[in-house]
Amino acid sequence: MKWHKLSLRVGILAVLAAMLLRFAGSGLFGEAVGIFSQPELASFLIYSETGRTPAVPETTTPTPAESTSATEQTQPPQTEPTVAPTTPTTSTTPSVPGQRPTFTAADVEYVKLINTVARNPDLKALLVQKLKWDLTGDKPTVLIIHSHGTEAYTKTADSMYENYAAYRTMDERYNMISLGDELARLLEQQGITVLHDRTAHDYLDYDNSYKNARKSIEEYLKEYPSIKLVLDLHRDAATNADGSQWATSATVDGKPSAQMMLVVGSDAAGEKNPDWQDNLSFAEKLAVLLQKDEPGICRGVRLKSKSYNQDLATASLIVEIGSAGNTHAEAMNCVPVLAEAIAALAKGTA
């Protein structure tokens, strides 16, 4: 059935291409272009290219916070240009986290909240809220998982992969699983025991990817009740006006990098998620540390209506690393910064 879905998509695209050529030959090319500009068909083509189902745009120009579907944007911000490829960096000075950071209400200036739901959280109060845990030790405390594990980036000479759909691959050297491997390695260096589920929960089953991931998370939490933090690593996807894939832009240690978006689910869609504000509190703290370490590395904290399985753990977060327009190397440049920020919070806050 899964292969049937994929074959159906490819077949429909072939028929549409044939129709377009026929229109061109009969002088009706302009009408064909008009048909292809319809929102419903545009949404279908974006799904066929990236595996994501974008929201149909409103009649007015939406802001980035309004033009989202699931955890993704449909229109890229115009202030974030594409950057050139670079080589990934890694942490060379591992250390065990010790001193606990302190946050003040003034630190809220580092937090850009993109609020897409009918909720009005007190950002200052949540930011200074104490974080009481210890992620260090021999027992697993962090679970890294991938609801959309096959997501990949723009190919380069150094990252040529075989894709089963555009910007999607089972090659674990270049999809989201590779970023999870690196994050797990760096956190382990910091004295944090990590479990990394390398399952691609979206492979040929995109519509049920979160349900598939939920089953895995529940199994891990049952076997390892010591887990306190669940990180679901993704990348974003958005299309520029010219049809090209949009890329985020930041700098890490003077080198071009992708940006990160922290996505927090809520209970606004009616799903059970009573502790969503605790997740938001953690995301705020993480955003502050990221921005202080590498200004511009964090695009913001996006508050969404669905829970995205974030009701299962003490703290749970989606981290979108770059976009489909970024290169794999640019995405990898974000990982050491993320690892350092998590490690800084490993003993909680003062």
- Rounded CA separation 338/233 (Å): 11
Q: What is the mean pLDDT of residues 169-181?
A: 98
More confidently predicted of 94 and 212: 212
Q: What is the mean pLDDT of residues 43-64?
A: 36
The domain boundary residue, chosen from 19, 53, 73 = 73
Residue 101's DSSP bridge partners are none
pLDDT score at 99 = 82
Do the domain assignments include residue 84? no
pLDDT score at 314 = 85
Rounded-to-10 torsion of CA 110, 112, 118, 119: -10
Do the domain assignments include residue 81? no
Write out pLDDT tens, residues 281-305: 999 999 999 999 999 999 999 999 9
pLDDT score at 13 = 53
What's at 204, amino acid-wise?
A: L
Whether residue 31 sits in one domain with residue 166: no
The domain boundary residue, chosen from 73, 91, 126 = 73
- Rounded CA separation 127/290 (Å): 14
Whether residue 120 sits in one domain with residue 18: no
Number of structural domains (the chain) is 2
Do the domain assignments include residue 96? no
Q: What is the mean pLDDT of residues 314-333?
A: 97
- 249 neighbors 326 (Cβ within 8 angstroms): no
Residue 195, phi then psi, degrees to nearest 5: -105, 125
- Rounded CA separation 29/22 (Å): 8
CA atoms within 13 A on the CB side of 48: 15
What percentage of the chain exceeds 90 in pLDDT?
71
Do the domain assignments include residue 83? no
User: CATH no. for residue 193?
Assistant: 3.40.630.40
Whether residue 279 sits in one domain with residue 151: yes
Whether residue 38 sits in one domain with residue 131: no
Whether residue 117 sits in one domain with residue 180: yes
42 Cα distance to chain centroid? 23
Q: What is the mean pLDDT of residues 24-45?
A: 42
Which residue is listed with tokens 């040529």? 160
Whether residue 155 sits in one domain with residue 262: yes
- 335 neighbors 186 (Cβ within 8 angstroms): yes
Whether residue 198 sits in one domain with residue 126: yes
90 Cα distance to chain centroid? 20
Residue 217 has pLDDT above 90, yes or no: yes
- Rounded CA Rg of the chain: 20
Q: The whole model's pTM is what?
A: 0.76
Q: pLDDT-derived band of residue 16, with 50, 70 and 90 as boundaries?
A: low
The domain boundary residue, chosen from 21, 50, 73 = 73
pLDDT score at 48 = 41
Whether residue 309 sits in one domain with residue 196: yes
Please, what is the angle between helix 29-36 and helix 2-25, to 10°? 150
What's at 107, amino acid-wise?
A: D
Whether residue 109 sits in one domain with residue 69: no
Q: Across the chain, what does the average pLDDT equal?
A: 81
Please state, as a whole number, how many other Cβ atoms lie within 10 Å of the Cβ of residue 128: 18
- 322 neighbors 304 (Cβ within 8 angstroms): no
Q: What is the mean pLDDT of residues 209-215?
A: 98
Residue 326, both tokens = 């970024």
pLDDT score at 335 = 98
Q: pLDDT-derived band of residue 17, with 50, 70 and 90 as boundaries?
A: low
Do the domain assignments include residue 184? yes
Q: What is the mean pLDDT of residues 136-162?
A: 97
More confidently predicted of 295 and 88: 295
Whether residue 111 sits in one domain with residue 65: no
Whether residue 175 sits in one domain with residue 215: yes
Q: Quote the domain boundaries for residue 16.
A: 2-73
Do the domain assignments include residue 88? no
More confidently predicted of 42 and 319: 319
Whether residue 123 sits in one domain with residue 44: no
Residue 87 has pLDDT above 70, yes or no: no
